[in-house]
Structure 1
């Protein structure tokens, strides 16, 4: 059995000679950790462990539509610390942009909502943000869009934005897919297309492969097509196929190694520097760099204290209860003046 380095060299040669020209990629939170976004499941440092002070019913509740509908405060407590406008693309995002620039990236499925692939220069038509993005927002109840400037203010001060439509009162939610919601219709289209299209290489980066349906994508690639996993640990069925290559470690470290094998090291660093510069300029123009950003730990601790003081009944939950009681008593009591 050949070593991983030999296999990687072989893949690099096949790319350089034009044998590999159609690469499909799948990315997860691991490619954004170097941008300051914690992943979800890493013990002690992952987001779910950091949420412990909030005493949620279960860690994923912060991203479940049923929980958000009555208690949106935890989501907005971490919103600024995780908002993509505060983030810069990583080397891993730049590598995807480099593949696109060389006409090697056939398609990218990303499970991330930060849009950093787009910021790095990957063309939008080659990307499916399977879990949505922060690019827009709307009321989770009536679906009416919400103004960008008011959303930016809410994130800045850590408050929950509520619908402006009279009589609605629903919490505003960015256009990201929460647990309990359906993926974009385009996902099924692109998944079916993946089973029919010619793929020369599958690149999987920074994902636990624990969230369906994206977790099944690597298994849809035809036997015999090489698959490269860049991740902290083996996941899914990687390592079971002859052509699998597992580069274990941080995504940026292993991406640099792959770029060096291809002779693209300097070019990759240049694209990354350009992407970071563009994002910093965009942030300056949008006013996102005008104030010091609160840390994730600080934001979580402040909300935990507020929820303890309030008896763990959120403002959103209180509004829901008051509306429910109002409707109940309006039905029971006679409709007349008591003056």
Structure 2
């Protein structure tokens, strides 16, 4: 969603490991490069007016090999195979690994699909997804509403959408409480979520167990000088159709969610230590189209089973390997089946009874 800016500054204390404001961010939020072409294609419509012409250079950001604080590993052909005892083909096989205490350090990668049962739109489902329902916000192309360059030019469309996205309107669902149960059983190493709705927190998962890869509404800052701004004050301004302004430089303040063209939160760097430690990776409700989030699915050890719970095959699951299991369909239905295979029905009922809002 737009070309990467080579002169972008990092947020002090957020996207940089030093106090310098000129160091490049550790990674840049961008849409995955299409596999059918080696060149980037500008998805914006033909220029028909002055506004469209002025933002034609804001292309949807494709994957680029820029220097980073940490460089995501280049994909290599797998040369090792999963030990026979860990080879899995079904949901029941995965459940057996957990029941036999073979898998005790589980990482979950979660996307917008885990929140759709709560009433929140995902982004890319044709017809019903958020990107197909943005006409009223008058943006030149759907992803522009989350493009930092377009936000700098015109923040009003995002603020209009933010009124609908702010946490508080929606509640956690069965899927979020399943993640809470993994934590209570001491099995959740970390939950890496693309979601900005905060429902993992509302379900009772401790913040130390969550990496909000695409940011959060729980804090806010100036998008120019990065000075922190009271999150509730920013919310009040946005809800009352006012533009929150920085008290230092008078720049526009926005919630600390990650826009295309911005560096990811420093907490995302935890993947470098977490993923090699994991003995099971569960991916659910994501298209795996946004990088660098999409890339880290390959950062677990080659012997670590990967379990996809999704509506469609995505990413590496399109090519079957001996360590991958995919269950396709409704996420809630699949997780209920998984809970039964684990014999955790009573535990799930207790978690939902104790923590449901």
TM range (shorter): 0.7 to 0.9
Query: Is the counterpart of residue 59 in structure 1 residue 142 in structure 2?
Result: yes
Equivalent-residue separation in structure 2 for 1:149 and 1:119 (angstroms): 17
* Correspondence 1:1-80 to 2 at 5 A: 7-80=90-163
The C-alpha deviation readout for 1:264-317, integer Å capped at 9, x for no partner, is 12322332344332xxxxxxxxxxxxxxxxxxxxxxxxxxxxxxxxxxxxxxxx
Q: In the alignment, is the contact (CA less than 8 A) between 2:311 and 2:328 conserved in 1?
A: yes
Query: Is the counterpart of residue 264 in structure 1 residue 347 in structure 2?
Result: no
Larger radius of gyration: 1
Q: In the alignment, is the contact (CA less than 8 A) between 1:32 and 1:89 conserved in 2?
A: yes
The C-alpha deviation readout for 1:207-235, integer Å capped at 9, x for no partner, is 10001111012222222322111111000
The C-alpha deviation readout for 1:182-224, integer Å capped at 9, x for no partner, is 0123323x23214532x22110011100011110122222223
Q: Which residue pairs with 1:141 in the alignment?
A: 224
Question: What do you get for the CA RMSD once the two structures are aligned?
Answer: 2.1
Equivalent-residue separation in structure 2 for 1:266 and 1:84 (angstroms): 29
- The more displaced of 53-62 and 15-24 is 53-62
Equivalent-residue separation in structure 2 for 1:195 and 1:152 (angstroms): 35
* Correspondence 1:256-335 to 2 at 5 A: 256-277=336-357
Equivalent-residue separation in structure 2 for 1:16 and 1:162 (angstroms): 53
Q: Which residue pairs with 2:260 in the alignment?
A: 179
* Correspondence 1:89-168 to 2 at 5 A: 89-165=172-248, 168=249
Q: Is there any run of 5+ residues in structure 2 with no aligned partner, and where? A: 1-87
Aligned to 1:109, what secondary structure does the other structure show?
strand
Query: Is the counterpart of residue 232 in structure 1 residue 311 in structure 2?
Result: yes
Equivalent-residue separation in structure 2 for 1:145 and 1:223 (angstroms): 41
Q: Is there any run of 5+ residues in structure 1 with no aligned partner, and where? A: 278-339
- The more displaced of 142-151 and 211-220 is 142-151
Q: Which residue pairs with 1:303 in the alignment?
A: none
TM-score (ref. length: structure 1): 0.74
Aligned pair count reads 270
Aligned to 2:168, what secondary structure does the other structure show?
helix
TM-score (ref. length: structure 2): 0.71
Q: Which residue pairs with 1:312 in the alignment?
A: none
Instruction: Detail structure 1 runs of 4+ shifted over 4 Å in the superposition.
Output: none
Q: Which residue pairs with 2:38 in the alignment?
A: none
Aligned to 1:266, what secondary structure does the other structure show?
helix
Q: Which residue pairs with 1:288 in the alignment?
A: none
